[in-house]
């Protein structure tokens, strides 16, 4: 019987490392094992140091282990062809063309990736299947899909028989598959959920929130891994002693708040890449064999002047003389500090006298915890010149649905309005609604600066692709004839949005990363993807930089040496201004600590 193991948690907590180490352990134990990533910004290939891609690939130099990275574009193409292929020989060309058009909506990509994902839960070829999932908010969305789509197909079958994925009869088999997947996800005898977290307040908050959300759809999270714990023996100076004590307090609070079997993983003095390093993690994870830290220094430590010259932040972040609204986008791999850097940038602009709005588009948002204020779906004042808002998908969905139907009143027949209402109830409308809310802030002239704290890289790229998908969605829903004006308005609106995103004077894109191999590779790939869409990155933020002042032993000198090597790589690879932000003694949580962080700039 196949056992399914899901790893989830806030971005950057080490899910891929823990999932990969668990897969290595199962394979070495003699189990035929497959590790699958559902993260659109996957770094599985980087961890195993070999190409993987959208196919089941044997991992080199180890028996019993295979891997696959689900690529959304390829999954979409496969999904569409699976639905359409049976009709190609028996249906006229215009019907096939209509089917293809129906399957061009934004929800098809979401469903395609999910459909490929649950294919692995249908067979019995493997003893163990390990799922390395996207960061928490997106994982929960993924796990809600069987319920949402099964319900939508059921409703459509008793109504018009039409869904935004096409006619009900073409996807009826999918409903049965989604129902089976739901049952399997809830079966604790076959499926285990593991939450990975860091010993930090924000990570604990996210873990508790996500665990409750899974509970609402009947899924029980079974185990917990606390990763990245500072070894006590290396924390000899006050700076790290204070960080160690703070971590231990969070570990204690976690034990009181979450009553699950828990494993504890020490921070390494270098990156975890390759089979040898993964086996070391597996030894600690499953046999409690703690690592021994190297006494030497791998790379020669250069003098402090290796650190790059800080860029002109005022020129990049503040609005120009024409005072046109400036949009700042902060994106990057999960867990690299996008939210914190976004909050710092927003407060920096506000303190310079610019009316600033901080927007989060991350479903696992925690800007409220950083700012120490409640942030909701409507902009609320944080301090002088600073406002914050969270794009809440559920609230945006209701607002969007009401707006579309209100604008359609009097323009279409009752039958058309009924069909539109039915289609608007599909799960994919939530994504469209959140995007509609998102672009309202770009279009607004109410604020001089709008700072976007975005979801992890793959999901941000998906968000920025939506103007094109959205225009198609409007076109499909509006139909033809007297709706031409509606289509023209939508297309003109999105042309303006795309022009704004491409305008370097009005929009700044910044990648936040740690000076480590995986965040660099992921950010570079994403930068190239944006560039292909005519959107240019203008800043790199290298976060949690270790300074000479705090690196007084081999453990931290090793980590600093690694950072220096990668700072040089960042400088050459991106050829962009690099803002280096130091590791702070305290986790930035609350306004007082946020103001101290801004003072560093």
Q: Domains in the chain, ordered, with CATH?
A: 3-287 (3.40.50.300), 310-600 (3.40.50.300)
* Tens-place pLDDT, residues 204-220: 988 888 788 777 777 77
* Tens-place pLDDT, residues 527-555: 888 888 788 999 999 999 998 888 988 89
pLDDT for the residue numbered 175: 63
Are the CB atoms for 394 and 375 separated by under 8 Å? no
pLDDT at residue 32 is higher than 70: yes
pLDDT for the residue numbered 356: 96
CA distances from 160 to 114, 152, 173, 537 (A): 25, 12, 18, 45
Read off the pLDDT of each residue in 589-598 and give the average, rounded to a whole number. Answer: 88
Q: What secondary structure does DSSP assign to 154-207, as a single string?
A: HHHHTTTSEETTEEHHHHHHHHHHHHHHHHHHT-TTTEEEEEEE-SSHHHHHHH
* Tens-place pLDDT, residues 80-112: 777 777 777 777 777 677 667 666 655 566 667
Q: What is d(CA 489, CA 483) in angstroms, rounded to the nearest whole number? A: 10
Are the CB atoms for 531 and 537 separated by under 8 Å? yes
Read off the pLDDT of each residue in 71-80 and give the average, rounded to a whole number. Answer: 77
Are the CB atoms for 32 and 26 separated by under 8 Å? no
The model carries a pTM of 0.76
Read off the pLDDT of each residue in 150-162 and give the average, rounded to a whole number. Answer: 50
* Tens-place pLDDT, residues 444-501: 889 999 998 876 444 455 555 555 455 455 444 444 444 445 556 666 777 787 788 8
pLDDT for the residue numbered 522: 81
pLDDT for the residue numbered 351: 95
Q: Residue 129's CB: how many other CB atoms inside 10 A?
A: 23
At 452 the three-state DSSP class reads strand
At 121 the three-state DSSP class reads coil
Q: What is d(CA 251, CA 385) in angstroms, rounded to the nearest whole number? A: 37
Read off the pLDDT of each residue in 172-187 and give the average, rounded to a whole number. Answer: 72
* Tens-place pLDDT, residues 491-502: 677 778 778 888
Least confident of 106-110, 224-228, 333-337: 106-110
At 301 the three-state DSSP class reads coil
At 303 the three-state DSSP class reads coil
- Distance spanning both ends of the chain, measured CA to CA: 56
pLDDT at residue 51 is higher than 60: yes
pLDDT for the residue numbered 165: 47
Band of pLDDT at residue 127, cut at 50, 70 and 90: very high
Q: What is d(CA 52, CA 50) in angstroms, rounded to the nearest whole number? A: 6
* Tens-place pLDDT, residues 398-443: 887 787 778 777 776 777 677 667 666 665 566 667 777 777 888 8
* Tens-place pLDDT, residues 350-372: 999 999 999 987 655 577 778 87
Mean of the per-residue pLDDT values of the chain: 79
The percent helix, strand, coil of the chain (3-state, each to 5) is: 50, 15, 30
At 92 the three-state DSSP class reads coil
The more confidently predicted of residues 120 and 348 is 348
Pairing status of strand 449-453 against strand 507-513: unpaired
Are the CB atoms for 139 and 133 separated by under 8 Å? yes
H or E element that contains 457:
helix 457-478
Q: What is the CA radius of gyration of the chain?
A: 24
Residue in 584, 518, 564 with CA at minimum distance from that of residue 49? 518
């Amino acid at each position: 019987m196949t056992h399914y193991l899901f790893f989830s948690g806030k971005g950057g907590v080490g899910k891929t490392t823990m999932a990969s180490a668990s897969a290595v352990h199962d394979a070495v134990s003699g189990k035929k094992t497959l590790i699958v990533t559902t993260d659109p910004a996957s770094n599985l290939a980087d961890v195993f140091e070999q190409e993987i891609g959208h196919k089941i690939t044997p991992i080199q130099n180890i028996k019993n282990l295979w891997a696959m990275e689900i690529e959304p574009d390829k999954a979409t193409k496969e999904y569409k062809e699976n639905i359409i292929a049976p009709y190609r020989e028996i249906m006229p060309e215009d019907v096939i063309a209509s089917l293809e058009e129906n399957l061009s909506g934004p929800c098809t990509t979401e469903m395609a990736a999910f459909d490929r994902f649950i294919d692995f839960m249908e067979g019995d070829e493997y003893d163990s299947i390990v799922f390395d999932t996207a960061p928490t908010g997106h994982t929960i969305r993924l796990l809600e899909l069987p319920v949402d789509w099964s319900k939508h197909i059921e409703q459509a079958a008793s109504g018009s028989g039409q869904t935004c994925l096409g006619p009900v009869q073409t996807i009826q088999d999918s409903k049965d598959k989604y129902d089976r997947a739901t049952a399997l996800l809830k079966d604790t005898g076959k499926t285990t959920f593991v939450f990975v977290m860091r010993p930090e307040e924000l990570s604990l908050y996210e873990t508790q929130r996500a665990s409750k959300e899974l509970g609402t759809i009947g899924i029980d999270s079974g185990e917990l891994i606390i990763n990245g714990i500072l070894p006590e023996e290396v924390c000899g100076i006050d700076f790290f002693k204070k960080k160690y004590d703070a971590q231990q307090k969070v570990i204690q609070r976690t034990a009181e708040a979450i009553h699950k079997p828990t494993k504890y993983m020490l921070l390494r003095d270098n990156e975890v890449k390759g089979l040898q390093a993964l086996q070391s993690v597996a030894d600690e994870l499953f046999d409690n064999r703690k690592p021994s830290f190297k006494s030497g220094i791998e790379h020669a430590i250069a003098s402090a002047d290796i650190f790059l010259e800080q860029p002109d932040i005022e020129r990049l972040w503040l609005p120009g003389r024409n005072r046109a609204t400036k949009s700042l986008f902060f994106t990057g791999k999960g867990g690299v500090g996008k939210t914190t850097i976004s909050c710092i940038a927003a407060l920096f602009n506000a303190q310079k006298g610019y009316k600033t709005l901080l927007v989060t588009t991350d479903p696992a948002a925690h800007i409220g915890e950083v700012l120490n204020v409640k942030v909701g779906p409507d902009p609320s004042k944080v301090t002088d010149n600073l406002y914050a808002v969270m794009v809440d998908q559920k609230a945006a969905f209701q607002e969007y649905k009401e707006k579309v139907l209100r604008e359609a009143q009097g323009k279409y027949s009752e039958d058309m309005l009924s069909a539109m209402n039915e289609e608007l109830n599909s799960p994919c409308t939530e994504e469209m609604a959140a995007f509609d809310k998102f672009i309202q802030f770009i279009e607004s002239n109410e604020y001089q600066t709008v700072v976007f704290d975005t979801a992890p890289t793959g999901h941000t790229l998906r968000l920025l692709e939506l103007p094109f998908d959205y225009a198609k969605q409007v076109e499909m829903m509006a139909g033809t004839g007297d709706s031409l004006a509606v289509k023209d308005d939508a297309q003109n609106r999105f042309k303006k949005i795309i022009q704004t995103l491409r305008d370097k004077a009005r929009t700044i894109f910044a990648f936040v990363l740690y000076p480590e191999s995986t965040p660099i590779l992921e950010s570079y790939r994403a930068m190239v993807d944006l560039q292909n869409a005519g959107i240019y990155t203008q800043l790199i933020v290298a976060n949690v930089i270790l300074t000479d002042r705090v690196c007084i032993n081999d453990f931290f000198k090793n980590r600093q040496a690694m950072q220096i090597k990668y700072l040089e790589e960042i400088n050459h690879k991106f050829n962009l201004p690099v803002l280096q932000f130091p590791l702070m003694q305290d986790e930035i949580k609350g306004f007082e600590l946020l103001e101290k962080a801004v003072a560093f700039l």
